[in-house]
Amino acid sequence: MATNFEVVGFAVSTIAPIYAVTVLGAYLRRRGILSDDFLKDSAHIIFNYAAPIMLFLSLAGADLSSGVISRFIFVSLGIVLAMALLAYLIAPFMVKDRHDRGVFLQGAVRGNILVSGLALSQTIYGVEGIALASLLIGLFIIFNNVFSVGVLKYYAQTTDRGAGNYWRDIVRNPIIISVVLGTGVGFLELPIPTLIVATGNLLGQLTVPLILINVGAALDFGHLRSPSAGAWAACCFKSLLTPLVGVPVGYYLGLRQMELGILFLLLSAPTATISVVFVQLFGGNTRMAANTVLLSGLVSFVVIVVGLIGLRSAQLI
């Protein structure tokens, strides 16, 4: 069994580089080195080119024929759906104002899975971890978009007709397309030219650093002003209760080692920053949404560090 020193060293060495790059992004933004145009262009590169190529190559080169993969997908997706249902059932008790319940639900369910799904999975498990996480990322993105539009529209005070564009965006999302294509290539074991693989790997290496720099640059603690009880509830549900319930359920249903570790990373991810944009679209409480994102980011950091230490100590991951 690993010593306490080894376990803590593992957690620190895993988390520290990721948050160091995130802090660098925040620092460069505050110094004015990162412009709005750079952040916009780099985000375009990430979500339309670098991340899709990285996910495609990871899946295309993975062995997807194992029954273990199917169990991992069904168990993980089942846990996410169950937690979303639980959030919906308790929403009336957590948030008294009906119009804010959609904001609570999105904040409690929609995680920033690209950060945990790619950055942490790559750091801990390498290429094999990215391939396994990629299978869920595409499904989670589809679910997150459908769920967010559904609950926000249901509880919205006003509905923007432009919201319908997001349904089309789900189908045309480059990350979803890359996951579908990569999975197909992986199952069929189709060969990929070496030149394409080498070029794709080079471009894919941009993904994690750019994501972390953009996350850091987007942090604005000036928006954190007396967060409401609803923001705290959504934060704790997403970053604390979800992994606290989901990981033991996953273990009980047979997930082990890397599968359990990736499930933990995905479930403990903070609320996605894009959730604020969706709330604005439906005329919701953007302050509550922004506070949920910031609070969950802080709570998620602690949960991930403590969780990695605990799971590693128990030799579960």
**pLDDT score of 222:** 65
State the helix-helix crossing angle for 242-252 and 257-267, rounded to 10 degrees.
Answer: 160
Which candidate, 98, 124, 171, places its Cα nearest to that of 265?
124
**pLDDT score of 169:** 64
**pLDDT score of 225:** 64
Three-state DSSP state, 271? strand
State the helix-helix crossing angle for 257-267 and 67-94, rounded to 10 degrees.
Answer: 30
- 107-134: pLDDT as tens digits: 999 988 876 667 788 778 877 777 788 7
> Does the reported pTM lie above 0.75?
yes
Which candidate, 3, 34, 5, places its Cα nearest to that of 215?
34
CATH of domain 4-313: 1.20.1530.20
- 220-231: pLDDT as tens digits: 666 666 677 889
Which residues are CB-contacts of 160 (< 8 A; sequence separation ≥ 6)?
281, 282, 283
Residue 249 has pLDDT above 90, yes or no: yes
Which candidate, 311, 313, 287, 308, places its Cα nearest to that of 107?
287
- 268-301: pLDDT as tens digits: 988 888 787 778 777 788 888 888 888 888 898 8
- Do the beta carbons of residue 75 and residue 253 sit within 8 Å? yes
Give the whole-angstrom CA distance, residue 138 versus residue 73. Answer: 11
- 68-111: pLDDT as tens digits: 677 888 999 999 999 999 999 999 999 988 889 999 999 999 98
Percent of the chain with pLDDT over 70: 86
Give the whole-angstrom CA distance, residue 234 versus residue 249. Answer: 21
Beta strands (DSSP E) in 27-184 are none
Which candidate, 196, 174, 259, places its Cα nearest to that of 61?
196
- Sign of the alpha-carbon dihedral angle for 9, 11, 14, 19: negative
Which candidate, 174, 180, 183, places its Cα nearest to that of 207?
174
Average confidence (pLDDT) over 16-33: 84
Chain-centre distance for alpha carbon 43: 15
